[in-house]
Amino acid sequence: MITGMPATEYVRCTNPACGKLNPVLIDEAKQGKEYTCVFCGQLFTPPAKTAQSAEASFKKRSRGKKLLNPPAVRPENRNTRKPNI
């Protein structure tokens, strides 16, 4: 069996100016462990994970999605009435 790269988990930096995702090995991803941000160098501890309900996750996934084919908008025909001369 060929083993590939170890699985990684991404943890968000708690620095408000940075806020980028940092790669962390899943084996090392423990609550309470302190990490150093790869981008800004600040030490941070990841916040505790909270379980989300299925409805909340569905709302997050569907937010911001656009329709692939928006409904066609026909131009208004302004020549429906002809002036009486």
Tell me the average confidence (pLDDT) per consecutive run of 10 residues in the chain, 85 residues long: 71 88 79 84 78 60 70 80 73
Sign of CA dihedral 30, 32, 34, 39: positive
3-state secondary structure of 85: coil
Residues 6+ apart with CB under 8 A from 6: 25, 26, 27
Position 3 scores a pLDDT of: 63
Position 55 scores a pLDDT of: 58
What is the model's pTM?
0.48
